[in-house]
Structure 1
Amino acid sequence: MKRIAIVSIAILLCAWTAFGQTATKYFVAHQGGYIGEATVTVDKKGKVLSASLNEWQGPGGWAEYNSPDGKSLMDGAVVRVPDPLANTSNPDPMIKGYMFYVYNLKEDGTYVWSQFTPGKDAFTKPTRQYELDFEGLMSNPIRAAAYAKAAREDNLYNVTIDGLKVTLGKKASQTVHYGNMDKANKMATYMPLTKESIGYRYNYKALIDFFKAHPTADYTAFSLKKTKVTIVEDKNVDANAKAADYTAAEDTVFVVADAVTGATYSDFPHYALELQAAYKMALALQHKAFKK
Protein backbone atom coordinates (compact mmCIF):
# COMPACT_ATOMS: atom_id res chain seq x y z
CA MET A 1 0.00 0.00 0.00
CA LYS A 2 2.82 2.36 0.94
CA ARG A 3 4.61 1.52 -2.31
CA ILE A 4 1.46 2.35 -4.31
CA ALA A 5 1.16 5.68 -2.48
CA ILE A 6 4.80 6.55 -3.20
CA VAL A 7 4.38 5.68 -6.88
CA SER A 8 1.19 7.78 -7.05
CA ILE A 9 2.96 10.78 -5.53
CA ALA A 10 5.83 10.37 -7.99
CA ILE A 11 3.40 10.29 -10.91
CA LEU A 12 1.68 13.43 -9.65
CA LEU A 13 5.00 15.24 -9.30
CA CYS A 14 6.02 14.21 -12.81
CA ALA A 15 2.70 15.39 -14.20
CA TRP A 16 3.02 18.72 -12.40
CA THR A 17 6.57 19.17 -13.69
CA ALA A 18 5.49 18.30 -17.22
CA PHE A 19 2.65 20.80 -17.34
CA GLY A 20 4.00 23.40 -14.92
CA GLN A 21 2.22 26.33 -13.29
CA THR A 22 0.81 29.00 -15.60
CA ALA A 23 -0.22 32.59 -14.93
CA THR A 24 -1.46 35.38 -17.19
CA LYS A 25 -1.15 39.14 -16.72
CA TYR A 26 -3.47 41.48 -18.67
CA PHE A 27 -2.58 45.07 -19.49
CA VAL A 28 -3.23 47.99 -21.82
CA ALA A 29 -0.46 47.78 -24.41
CA HIS A 30 1.64 50.21 -26.45
CA GLN A 31 0.43 53.81 -25.98
CA GLY A 32 -3.12 52.50 -25.54
CA GLY A 33 -5.62 51.02 -27.94
CA TYR A 34 -4.31 47.45 -27.64
CA ILE A 35 -4.84 44.72 -25.05
CA GLY A 36 -1.83 42.76 -23.85
CA GLU A 37 -1.87 39.22 -22.49
CA ALA A 38 1.42 38.03 -20.98
CA THR A 39 1.49 34.32 -20.11
CA VAL A 40 4.30 32.42 -18.39
CA THR A 41 4.58 28.77 -17.33
CA VAL A 42 7.21 27.65 -14.81
CA ASP A 43 8.32 24.26 -13.55
CA LYS A 44 8.68 23.22 -9.91
CA LYS A 45 12.13 24.81 -9.68
CA GLY A 46 10.94 28.12 -11.11
CA LYS A 47 12.45 27.65 -14.55
CA VAL A 48 10.47 29.25 -17.36
CA LEU A 49 9.03 26.47 -19.50
CA SER A 50 7.18 28.78 -21.87
CA ALA A 51 6.35 32.44 -22.31
CA SER A 52 4.14 34.30 -24.74
CA LEU A 53 2.67 37.74 -25.22
CA ASN A 54 -0.43 38.38 -27.28
CA GLU A 55 -1.15 41.96 -28.23
CA TRP A 56 -4.73 42.17 -29.44
CA GLN A 57 -5.94 44.93 -31.72
CA GLY A 58 -8.38 47.36 -30.11
CA PRO A 59 -11.44 48.64 -32.02
CA GLY A 60 -9.34 50.99 -34.15
CA GLY A 61 -7.50 47.99 -35.55
CA TRP A 62 -10.57 46.09 -36.69
CA ALA A 63 -13.70 48.26 -36.82
CA GLU A 64 -15.21 48.19 -40.30
CA TYR A 65 -14.42 51.31 -42.31
CA ASN A 66 -17.54 53.45 -42.68
CA SER A 67 -16.31 56.33 -44.85
CA PRO A 68 -17.93 56.80 -48.29
CA ASP A 69 -14.88 55.29 -50.01
CA GLY A 70 -14.66 52.43 -47.48
CA LYS A 71 -11.04 53.23 -46.63
CA SER A 72 -11.24 54.93 -43.23
CA LEU A 73 -13.22 55.30 -40.03
CA MET A 74 -15.64 58.14 -39.47
CA ASP A 75 -17.89 59.29 -36.66
CA GLY A 76 -20.53 56.72 -35.77
CA ALA A 77 -18.79 53.36 -36.31
CA VAL A 78 -19.92 51.00 -33.51
CA VAL A 79 -18.46 47.75 -32.16
CA ARG A 80 -19.71 45.30 -29.51
CA VAL A 81 -17.37 43.78 -26.92
CA PRO A 82 -18.14 41.09 -24.29
CA ASP A 83 -17.87 42.71 -20.86
CA PRO A 84 -18.97 40.97 -17.62
CA LEU A 85 -19.47 44.37 -15.97
CA ALA A 86 -21.50 46.06 -18.71
CA ASN A 87 -25.28 46.47 -18.95
CA THR A 88 -25.79 43.62 -16.50
CA SER A 89 -29.46 44.41 -15.81
CA ASN A 90 -30.53 44.96 -19.41
CA PRO A 91 -33.21 42.42 -20.44
CA ASP A 92 -32.07 42.27 -24.08
CA PRO A 93 -29.58 39.38 -24.60
CA MET A 94 -28.03 41.36 -27.48
CA ILE A 95 -27.07 44.06 -24.96
CA LYS A 96 -26.69 42.36 -21.57
CA GLY A 97 -23.06 41.59 -20.75
CA TYR A 98 -21.70 43.65 -23.64
CA MET A 99 -20.05 47.04 -23.89
CA PHE A 100 -20.58 49.12 -27.02
CA TYR A 101 -17.98 51.56 -28.28
CA VAL A 102 -18.67 54.28 -30.83
CA TYR A 103 -16.07 56.16 -32.87
CA ASN A 104 -16.79 59.63 -31.54
CA LEU A 105 -15.81 62.93 -33.15
CA LYS A 106 -15.02 65.40 -30.37
CA GLU A 107 -15.44 69.17 -30.51
CA ASP A 108 -11.69 69.63 -30.98
CA GLY A 109 -11.78 67.60 -34.20
CA THR A 110 -10.15 64.47 -32.79
CA TYR A 111 -11.71 61.04 -32.44
CA VAL A 112 -12.04 58.74 -29.44
CA TRP A 113 -13.68 55.36 -28.86
CA SER A 114 -16.44 56.28 -26.40
CA GLN A 115 -18.91 54.17 -24.47
CA PHE A 116 -22.20 53.94 -26.34
CA THR A 117 -24.88 53.51 -23.70
CA PRO A 118 -28.44 52.20 -24.10
CA GLY A 119 -31.02 54.64 -22.75
CA LYS A 120 -34.81 54.75 -22.67
CA ASP A 121 -35.30 54.87 -26.44
CA ALA A 122 -31.84 54.85 -27.99
CA PHE A 123 -28.10 54.55 -27.43
CA THR A 124 -26.31 57.76 -26.49
CA LYS A 125 -22.77 59.09 -26.58
CA PRO A 126 -21.28 60.64 -23.43
CA THR A 127 -22.04 64.35 -23.10
CA ARG A 128 -18.52 65.15 -21.91
CA GLN A 129 -15.41 63.22 -22.87
CA TYR A 130 -12.35 63.62 -20.67
CA GLU A 131 -10.67 60.24 -20.95
CA LEU A 132 -10.14 57.48 -23.48
CA ASP A 133 -13.00 55.15 -22.62
CA PHE A 134 -11.68 51.97 -24.23
CA GLU A 135 -8.21 52.22 -22.70
CA GLY A 136 -9.59 53.33 -19.35
CA LEU A 137 -12.08 50.48 -19.06
CA MET A 138 -9.56 47.91 -20.27
CA SER A 139 -7.23 48.78 -17.39
CA ASN A 140 -9.62 46.56 -15.40
CA PRO A 141 -8.22 43.00 -15.79
CA ILE A 142 -11.74 41.51 -15.71
CA ARG A 143 -12.64 43.47 -18.82
CA ALA A 144 -9.25 42.92 -20.46
CA ALA A 145 -9.47 39.15 -19.93
CA ALA A 146 -12.95 39.09 -21.48
CA TYR A 147 -11.71 41.11 -24.46
CA ALA A 148 -8.69 38.86 -25.01
CA LYS A 149 -10.89 35.76 -24.82
CA ALA A 150 -13.33 37.26 -27.32
CA ALA A 151 -10.51 38.23 -29.69
CA ARG A 152 -9.08 34.71 -29.54
CA GLU A 153 -12.51 33.10 -30.04
CA ASP A 154 -13.56 35.57 -32.77
CA ASN A 155 -16.46 36.95 -30.74
CA LEU A 156 -15.98 40.67 -31.40
CA TYR A 157 -18.50 42.27 -33.75
CA ASN A 158 -19.19 45.35 -35.78
CA VAL A 159 -22.81 46.33 -35.16
CA THR A 160 -25.47 48.69 -36.40
CA ILE A 161 -27.99 50.16 -34.00
CA ASP A 162 -31.46 51.53 -34.69
CA GLY A 163 -32.99 52.91 -31.52
CA LEU A 164 -32.32 50.05 -29.13
CA LYS A 165 -32.20 47.32 -31.75
CA VAL A 166 -28.71 45.84 -32.15
CA THR A 167 -27.88 44.06 -35.40
CA LEU A 168 -24.67 42.09 -35.69
CA GLY A 169 -22.43 42.84 -38.65
CA LYS A 170 -19.07 41.38 -39.60
CA LYS A 171 -16.76 39.76 -37.08
CA ALA A 172 -13.47 41.42 -36.19
CA SER A 173 -11.56 38.71 -38.07
CA GLN A 174 -13.37 39.75 -41.25
CA THR A 175 -12.51 43.44 -40.98
CA VAL A 176 -9.15 43.49 -39.15
CA HIS A 177 -6.80 45.98 -40.81
CA TYR A 178 -3.47 44.28 -40.08
CA GLY A 179 -3.77 40.67 -41.20
CA ASN A 180 -4.52 39.22 -37.77
CA MET A 181 -6.03 40.37 -34.48
CA ASP A 182 -2.82 39.45 -32.62
CA LYS A 183 0.17 41.58 -33.59
CA ALA A 184 2.51 38.69 -32.75
CA ASN A 185 0.77 36.22 -35.06
CA LYS A 186 2.94 35.19 -37.99
CA MET A 187 0.22 36.31 -40.43
CA ALA A 188 -0.08 39.81 -38.95
CA THR A 189 1.12 42.76 -41.02
CA TYR A 190 1.30 45.39 -38.27
CA MET A 191 4.77 47.03 -38.17
CA PRO A 192 6.26 44.95 -41.01
CA LEU A 193 9.92 44.18 -41.54
CA THR A 194 11.58 46.84 -43.73
CA LYS A 195 15.09 47.65 -44.85
CA GLU A 196 15.53 49.73 -41.67
CA SER A 197 13.53 47.71 -39.12
CA ILE A 198 13.27 44.04 -38.13
CA GLY A 199 9.55 44.61 -37.61
CA TYR A 200 7.18 43.58 -34.84
CA ARG A 201 7.35 39.79 -35.02
CA TYR A 202 11.14 39.47 -35.00
CA ASN A 203 11.15 41.95 -32.11
CA TYR A 204 8.61 39.70 -30.41
CA LYS A 205 10.88 36.69 -30.89
CA ALA A 206 13.83 38.62 -29.43
CA LEU A 207 11.70 39.63 -26.43
CA ILE A 208 10.51 36.09 -25.67
CA ASP A 209 13.91 34.47 -26.19
CA PHE A 210 15.66 36.99 -23.95
CA PHE A 211 13.02 36.90 -21.22
CA LYS A 212 13.03 33.09 -21.01
CA ALA A 213 16.79 33.20 -20.47
CA HIS A 214 16.64 36.16 -18.03
CA PRO A 215 13.28 36.13 -16.17
CA THR A 216 14.68 37.84 -13.06
CA ALA A 217 16.59 40.64 -14.79
CA ASP A 218 15.96 44.27 -13.84
CA TYR A 219 14.22 45.47 -16.99
CA THR A 220 13.93 49.00 -15.65
CA ALA A 221 17.73 49.30 -15.75
CA PHE A 222 18.10 49.12 -19.52
CA SER A 223 20.42 50.99 -21.82
CA LEU A 224 20.54 51.45 -25.58
CA LYS A 225 23.35 50.48 -27.88
CA LYS A 226 24.02 50.94 -31.57
CA THR A 227 24.98 47.58 -33.02
CA LYS A 228 24.53 45.28 -35.98
CA VAL A 229 21.37 43.17 -35.77
CA THR A 230 21.20 39.85 -37.58
CA ILE A 231 18.01 37.83 -38.02
CA VAL A 232 17.47 34.37 -39.44
CA GLU A 233 14.42 34.09 -41.64
CA ASP A 234 11.67 31.99 -40.10
CA LYS A 235 8.23 31.87 -41.69
CA ASN A 236 6.83 30.61 -38.38
CA VAL A 237 7.82 33.97 -36.91
CA ASP A 238 6.74 36.25 -39.77
CA ALA A 239 5.15 34.55 -42.76
CA ASN A 240 5.18 37.71 -44.88
CA ALA A 241 8.73 38.94 -44.25
CA LYS A 242 11.96 38.32 -46.12
CA ALA A 243 14.91 38.60 -43.75
CA ALA A 244 17.15 39.71 -46.62
CA ASP A 245 15.06 42.88 -46.99
CA TYR A 246 16.43 44.13 -43.67
CA THR A 247 19.71 45.77 -44.66
CA ALA A 248 20.42 48.32 -41.90
CA ALA A 249 24.12 48.56 -41.09
CA GLU A 250 23.22 48.97 -37.42
CA ASP A 251 20.22 49.53 -35.19
CA THR A 252 19.46 50.80 -31.70
CA VAL A 253 19.12 47.75 -29.45
CA PHE A 254 18.08 47.38 -25.81
CA VAL A 255 20.75 46.13 -23.41
CA VAL A 256 19.81 44.60 -20.04
CA ALA A 257 22.31 43.35 -17.44
CA ASP A 258 25.13 43.94 -19.93
CA ALA A 259 23.46 41.55 -22.39
CA VAL A 260 22.27 42.63 -25.83
CA THR A 261 18.59 41.68 -26.10
CA GLY A 262 18.23 41.82 -29.87
CA ALA A 263 15.04 43.86 -29.45
CA THR A 264 14.74 47.28 -31.03
CA TYR A 265 11.12 48.34 -30.48
CA SER A 266 10.32 50.88 -27.78
CA ASP A 267 7.87 48.58 -25.98
CA PHE A 268 10.57 46.07 -24.99
CA PRO A 269 11.07 47.17 -21.33
CA HIS A 270 7.32 47.46 -20.75
CA TYR A 271 6.47 44.07 -22.20
CA ALA A 272 9.38 42.39 -20.44
CA LEU A 273 8.06 43.75 -17.13
CA GLU A 274 4.56 42.42 -17.92
CA LEU A 275 6.05 38.99 -18.62
CA GLN A 276 8.01 39.25 -15.39
CA ALA A 277 4.80 40.06 -13.50
CA ALA A 278 3.21 36.92 -14.96
CA TYR A 279 6.34 35.00 -13.94
CA LYS A 280 6.00 36.21 -10.35
CA MET A 281 2.32 35.27 -10.36
CA ALA A 282 3.15 31.75 -11.56
CA LEU A 283 5.75 31.38 -8.80
CA ALA A 284 3.21 32.54 -6.21
CA LEU A 285 0.64 30.04 -7.48
CA GLN A 286 3.09 27.23 -6.74
CA HIS A 287 2.71 27.97 -3.04
CA LYS A 288 -0.80 29.33 -2.70
CA ALA A 289 -3.94 28.11 -4.45
CA PHE A 290 -6.48 30.75 -5.45
CA LYS A 291 -10.14 30.13 -6.15
CA LYS A 292 -11.16 30.32 -9.80
Structure 2
Amino acid sequence: MGRKRKGRDISGWLVVDKPAGMTSTAVVNKVRWALQAKKAGHAGTLDPEATGVLAVALGEATKTVPYITDALKAYEFTVRLGEATNTDDAEGEVTATSDARPDDETIKGALGQFVGEIMQVPPKYSAVKIDGERAYKRARDGEEFEVQARPLWVEELLLIDRPDADHVTLEMTCGKGGYVRAIARDLGEALGCYGHVRELRRIWSGPFRAEDGLTIEQIDELAQSPELDAYLRPLEEGLADLPRVTVTDQGLAKLKNGNPGMVVAHDIEYGDECWAAYDGRAVAVGRFKAGELHPSRVFNQ
Protein backbone atom coordinates (compact mmCIF):
# COMPACT_ATOMS: atom_id res chain seq x y z
CA MET A 1 0.00 0.00 0.00
CA GLY A 2 1.14 3.56 -0.71
CA ARG A 3 2.02 5.85 2.13
CA LYS A 4 -0.97 7.86 3.35
CA ARG A 5 -0.64 11.55 2.58
CA LYS A 6 -0.56 13.77 5.64
CA GLY A 7 -2.69 16.86 6.04
CA ARG A 8 -6.23 18.07 6.44
CA ASP A 9 -9.15 17.01 4.29
CA ILE A 10 -10.21 20.49 3.23
CA SER A 11 -11.84 21.42 -0.05
CA GLY A 12 -12.32 24.73 -1.81
CA TRP A 13 -10.45 27.44 -3.70
CA LEU A 14 -7.90 29.95 -2.49
CA VAL A 15 -7.30 32.82 -4.89
CA VAL A 16 -3.72 34.10 -4.85
CA ASP A 17 -2.34 37.30 -6.37
CA LYS A 18 0.95 35.76 -7.51
CA PRO A 19 4.05 37.95 -7.26
CA ALA A 20 6.75 38.17 -9.90
CA GLY A 21 9.72 35.85 -9.44
CA MET A 22 7.76 32.89 -8.06
CA THR A 23 6.70 29.78 -9.95
CA SER A 24 3.11 28.58 -9.95
CA THR A 25 4.24 25.31 -8.34
CA ALA A 26 5.92 27.24 -5.52
CA VAL A 27 2.66 29.11 -4.89
CA VAL A 28 0.72 25.83 -4.68
CA ASN A 29 3.28 24.41 -2.23
CA LYS A 30 3.03 27.55 -0.10
CA VAL A 31 -0.77 27.33 0.01
CA ARG A 32 -0.71 23.61 0.81
CA TRP A 33 1.68 24.26 3.71
CA ALA A 34 -0.25 27.28 4.98
CA LEU A 35 -3.55 25.37 5.03
CA GLN A 36 -1.96 22.05 6.01
CA ALA A 37 -3.92 20.54 3.15
CA LYS A 38 -3.58 16.99 1.87
CA LYS A 39 -4.08 17.89 -1.77
CA ALA A 40 -3.69 21.04 -3.84
CA GLY A 41 -3.29 22.09 -7.48
CA HIS A 42 -3.63 25.21 -9.62
CA ALA A 43 -5.80 26.12 -12.60
CA GLY A 44 -3.44 27.43 -15.27
CA THR A 45 0.29 28.08 -15.02
CA LEU A 46 1.65 31.62 -14.92
CA ASP A 47 5.24 32.31 -16.02
CA PRO A 48 7.52 33.00 -13.03
CA GLU A 49 7.82 36.71 -13.86
CA ALA A 50 4.08 37.12 -14.44
CA THR A 51 1.76 38.35 -11.69
CA GLY A 52 -1.93 38.11 -10.97
CA VAL A 53 -4.64 35.59 -10.26
CA LEU A 54 -3.57 32.01 -9.61
CA ALA A 55 -6.52 29.98 -8.39
CA VAL A 56 -5.39 27.14 -6.10
CA ALA A 57 -7.75 24.20 -5.66
CA LEU A 58 -7.77 22.20 -2.41
CA GLY A 59 -9.02 18.67 -1.88
CA GLU A 60 -12.16 17.79 -3.82
CA ALA A 61 -11.98 21.13 -5.66
CA THR A 62 -9.03 19.75 -7.65
CA LYS A 63 -11.65 17.76 -9.60
CA THR A 64 -13.05 21.05 -10.91
CA VAL A 65 -9.68 22.41 -12.15
CA PRO A 66 -10.35 21.50 -15.83
CA TYR A 67 -13.42 23.77 -15.86
CA ILE A 68 -11.39 26.78 -14.71
CA THR A 69 -8.56 25.90 -17.10
CA ASP A 70 -11.08 25.85 -19.97
CA ALA A 71 -12.77 29.10 -18.92
CA LEU A 72 -12.06 32.51 -20.44
CA LYS A 73 -9.30 34.50 -18.78
CA ALA A 74 -7.93 38.03 -19.17
CA TYR A 75 -4.42 39.45 -19.21
CA GLU A 76 -3.02 42.96 -19.07
CA PHE A 77 0.44 43.13 -20.57
CA THR A 78 3.00 45.65 -21.78
CA VAL A 79 4.83 45.04 -25.05
CA ARG A 80 8.31 46.47 -25.61
CA LEU A 81 8.42 47.55 -29.23
CA GLY A 82 11.61 47.53 -31.28
CA GLU A 83 13.16 44.39 -29.79
CA ALA A 84 12.69 40.65 -30.29
CA THR A 85 14.08 38.21 -27.72
CA ASN A 86 14.67 34.45 -27.87
CA THR A 87 12.14 33.90 -25.06
CA ASP A 88 9.62 36.50 -26.27
CA ASP A 89 9.86 38.24 -22.88
CA ALA A 90 12.28 40.50 -21.02
CA GLU A 91 14.16 37.54 -19.51
CA GLY A 92 15.64 36.50 -22.85
CA GLU A 93 18.46 37.70 -25.08
CA VAL A 94 17.73 40.34 -27.70
CA THR A 95 17.86 38.73 -31.14
CA ALA A 96 16.71 41.59 -33.41
CA THR A 97 16.02 45.33 -33.17
CA SER A 98 14.20 47.98 -35.17
CA ASP A 99 13.94 51.76 -35.07
CA ALA A 100 10.36 51.68 -36.36
CA ARG A 101 7.69 52.82 -33.90
CA PRO A 102 4.12 52.53 -35.20
CA ASP A 103 1.55 55.06 -34.01
CA ASP A 104 -1.53 54.12 -31.96
CA GLU A 105 -3.88 53.90 -34.94
CA THR A 106 -1.55 51.53 -36.77
CA ILE A 107 -1.32 49.33 -33.68
CA LYS A 108 -5.10 49.31 -33.24
CA GLY A 109 -5.50 48.38 -36.88
CA ALA A 110 -3.18 45.39 -36.47
CA LEU A 111 -4.94 43.96 -33.41
CA GLY A 112 -7.92 42.65 -35.38
CA GLN A 113 -5.90 39.83 -36.95
CA PHE A 114 -5.38 38.39 -33.44
CA VAL A 115 -9.07 38.27 -32.51
CA GLY A 116 -11.38 35.31 -33.01
CA GLU A 117 -10.21 31.77 -33.80
CA ILE A 118 -6.51 32.16 -34.59
CA MET A 119 -3.58 29.80 -35.07
CA GLN A 120 -0.78 30.51 -32.62
CA VAL A 121 2.76 29.14 -32.49
CA PRO A 122 3.78 28.85 -28.79
CA PRO A 123 7.19 30.23 -27.80
CA LYS A 124 10.12 27.83 -28.00
CA TYR A 125 10.73 28.60 -24.33
CA SER A 126 7.41 27.10 -23.21
CA ALA A 127 6.09 23.92 -21.61
CA VAL A 128 4.59 22.48 -24.80
CA LYS A 129 5.92 19.00 -25.58
CA ILE A 130 7.99 18.23 -28.68
CA ASP A 131 8.38 14.46 -29.15
CA GLY A 132 7.66 13.94 -25.47
CA GLU A 133 10.09 16.58 -24.17
CA ARG A 134 9.34 20.11 -22.98
CA ALA A 135 10.18 22.72 -25.61
CA TYR A 136 12.07 24.91 -23.14
CA LYS A 137 14.46 22.06 -22.35
CA ARG A 138 15.28 21.61 -26.02
CA ALA A 139 15.68 25.38 -26.42
CA ARG A 140 18.06 25.59 -23.46
CA ASP A 141 20.12 22.79 -24.99
CA GLY A 142 20.46 24.79 -28.19
CA GLU A 143 18.48 22.35 -30.32
CA GLU A 144 16.88 23.43 -33.58
CA PHE A 145 13.19 22.49 -33.73
CA GLU A 146 9.82 23.73 -34.85
CA VAL A 147 6.75 24.27 -32.65
CA GLN A 148 3.45 23.50 -34.36
CA ALA A 149 0.72 26.12 -34.47
CA ARG A 150 -2.39 25.44 -32.44
CA PRO A 151 -5.83 27.02 -32.34
CA LEU A 152 -6.64 29.73 -29.79
CA TRP A 153 -9.86 31.62 -29.21
CA VAL A 154 -9.24 35.33 -28.54
CA GLU A 155 -12.41 37.06 -27.36
CA GLU A 156 -10.95 40.57 -27.26
CA LEU A 157 -7.63 42.39 -27.69
CA LEU A 158 -7.55 46.08 -26.83
CA LEU A 159 -4.98 48.86 -26.64
CA ILE A 160 -5.47 50.44 -23.23
CA ASP A 161 -2.33 52.60 -22.78
CA ARG A 162 0.72 53.96 -24.61
CA PRO A 163 3.19 54.93 -21.87
CA ASP A 164 5.80 56.04 -24.43
CA ALA A 165 6.94 55.36 -27.99
CA ASP A 166 8.68 52.14 -26.98
CA HIS A 167 5.82 50.55 -25.04
CA VAL A 168 2.17 49.67 -25.53
CA THR A 169 -0.17 48.16 -22.94
CA LEU A 170 -2.82 45.71 -24.12
CA GLU A 171 -5.64 43.74 -22.55
CA MET A 172 -6.54 40.32 -23.94
CA THR A 173 -9.43 37.99 -23.13
CA CYS A 174 -8.85 34.48 -24.44
CA GLY A 175 -9.56 30.80 -24.01
CA LYS A 176 -7.43 27.87 -22.95
CA GLY A 177 -3.80 27.52 -24.00
CA GLY A 178 -2.99 31.07 -25.06
CA TYR A 179 0.55 32.45 -24.86
CA VAL A 180 0.66 36.21 -24.33
CA ARG A 181 4.35 36.16 -25.28
CA ALA A 182 3.41 34.77 -28.70
CA ILE A 183 0.86 37.58 -29.18
CA ALA A 184 3.57 40.18 -28.41
CA ARG A 185 6.03 38.47 -30.77
CA ASP A 186 3.53 38.14 -33.62
CA LEU A 187 2.16 41.66 -33.18
CA GLY A 188 5.70 43.04 -33.37
CA GLU A 189 6.29 41.13 -36.59
CA ALA A 190 2.96 42.29 -38.06
CA LEU A 191 3.91 45.90 -37.27
CA GLY A 192 7.40 45.45 -38.72
CA CYS A 193 9.10 46.56 -35.53
CA TYR A 194 9.55 43.39 -33.42
CA GLY A 195 8.25 43.09 -29.87
CA HIS A 196 8.34 41.14 -26.62
CA VAL A 197 6.44 41.10 -23.32
CA ARG A 198 7.85 43.45 -20.72
CA GLU A 199 5.21 42.94 -18.00
CA LEU A 200 2.33 40.49 -17.71
CA ARG A 201 -0.57 40.27 -15.26
CA ARG A 202 -3.54 37.89 -15.30
CA ILE A 203 -6.42 40.04 -14.08
CA TRP A 204 -9.10 37.34 -13.99
CA SER A 205 -9.59 33.65 -14.71
CA GLY A 206 -13.14 32.30 -14.91
CA PRO A 207 -14.93 33.53 -11.76
CA PHE A 208 -11.72 34.50 -9.94
CA ARG A 209 -10.31 38.05 -9.87
CA ALA A 210 -6.79 39.20 -9.00
CA GLU A 211 -8.11 41.96 -6.74
CA ASP A 212 -9.77 39.29 -4.59
CA GLY A 213 -6.55 37.30 -4.24
CA LEU A 214 -4.33 37.06 -1.20
CA THR A 215 -0.70 38.08 -1.46
CA ILE A 216 2.08 35.69 -0.43
CA GLU A 217 2.77 37.99 2.51
CA GLN A 218 -0.83 37.67 3.69
CA ILE A 219 -0.69 33.89 3.32
CA ASP A 220 2.49 33.77 5.40
CA GLU A 221 0.92 36.00 8.06
CA LEU A 222 -2.27 33.92 8.30
CA ALA A 223 -0.66 30.51 7.79
CA GLN A 224 -2.11 27.57 9.75
CA SER A 225 -4.81 29.70 11.36
CA PRO A 226 -8.63 29.78 11.18
CA GLU A 227 -8.33 33.26 9.67
CA LEU A 228 -6.80 31.79 6.50
CA ASP A 229 -9.52 29.13 6.32
CA ALA A 230 -12.06 31.95 6.17
CA TYR A 231 -10.70 32.99 2.75
CA LEU A 232 -11.46 29.59 1.22
CA ARG A 233 -14.09 29.81 -1.51
CA PRO A 234 -16.56 27.00 -2.21
CA LEU A 235 -15.71 24.13 -4.52
CA GLU A 236 -18.84 25.06 -6.47
CA GLU A 237 -17.26 28.28 -7.78
CA GLY A 238 -15.12 26.10 -10.02
CA LEU A 239 -18.31 24.94 -11.76
CA ALA A 240 -19.67 28.41 -12.51
CA ASP A 241 -19.67 27.88 -16.29
CA LEU A 242 -21.70 24.65 -16.12
CA PRO A 243 -25.50 24.49 -15.78
CA ARG A 244 -26.82 23.18 -12.47
CA VAL A 245 -29.40 20.50 -11.73
CA THR A 246 -30.86 19.36 -8.40
CA VAL A 247 -30.43 15.83 -7.08
CA THR A 248 -33.52 14.06 -5.74
CA ASP A 249 -33.39 12.22 -2.42
CA GLN A 250 -33.53 8.94 -4.33
CA GLY A 251 -30.75 9.99 -6.70
CA LEU A 252 -28.33 11.16 -4.02
CA ALA A 253 -27.13 7.73 -2.83
CA LYS A 254 -26.79 6.46 -6.39
CA LEU A 255 -24.69 9.41 -7.51
CA LYS A 256 -22.46 9.19 -4.45
CA ASN A 257 -21.70 5.59 -5.48
CA GLY A 258 -20.86 6.68 -9.00
CA ASN A 259 -24.10 5.48 -10.57
CA PRO A 260 -26.67 7.46 -12.60
CA GLY A 261 -29.12 9.24 -10.31
CA MET A 262 -32.41 11.09 -10.77
CA VAL A 263 -32.21 14.88 -10.95
CA VAL A 264 -34.57 17.79 -11.48
CA ALA A 265 -33.47 19.92 -14.43
CA HIS A 266 -34.67 23.03 -16.25
CA ASP A 267 -33.48 24.21 -19.67
CA ILE A 268 -31.05 21.27 -19.94
CA GLU A 269 -30.77 19.28 -23.17
CA TYR A 270 -30.12 15.56 -23.46
CA GLY A 271 -26.36 14.94 -23.28
CA ASP A 272 -25.48 18.34 -21.77
CA GLU A 273 -22.67 18.41 -19.22
CA CYS A 274 -23.85 19.84 -15.91
CA TRP A 275 -23.32 19.57 -12.17
CA ALA A 276 -25.73 18.24 -9.60
CA ALA A 277 -26.38 19.88 -6.24
CA TYR A 278 -28.01 18.67 -3.04
CA ASP A 279 -28.73 21.33 -0.43
CA GLY A 280 -26.60 23.67 -2.53
CA ARG A 281 -23.49 21.51 -2.44
CA ALA A 282 -21.96 19.80 -5.47
CA VAL A 283 -22.46 16.04 -5.59
CA ALA A 284 -21.25 15.20 -9.09
CA VAL A 285 -20.51 16.39 -12.61
CA GLY A 286 -21.76 14.43 -15.57
CA ARG A 287 -24.10 14.20 -18.56
CA PHE A 288 -27.85 14.68 -18.35
CA LYS A 289 -29.76 11.82 -19.96
CA ALA A 290 -33.47 11.11 -19.64
CA GLY A 291 -33.93 12.60 -16.18
CA GLU A 292 -30.71 11.21 -14.76
CA LEU A 293 -27.19 12.53 -14.31
CA HIS A 294 -24.57 10.06 -15.53
CA PRO A 295 -21.56 11.07 -13.41
CA SER A 296 -18.02 11.52 -14.65
CA ARG A 297 -16.74 13.07 -11.39
CA VAL A 298 -18.18 12.53 -7.91
CA PHE A 299 -17.41 14.84 -4.99
CA ASN A 300 -16.89 13.59 -1.47
CA GLN A 301 -17.69 16.71 0.54
Class of the TM-score when normalised by the shorter of the 2 chains: under 0.3
TM-score (normalizing by structure 2): 0.22
TM-score (normalizing by structure 1): 0.22
Which structure has more relative contact order (CA 8 Å, sep 6+)? It is 2
More strand as a share of residues: 2
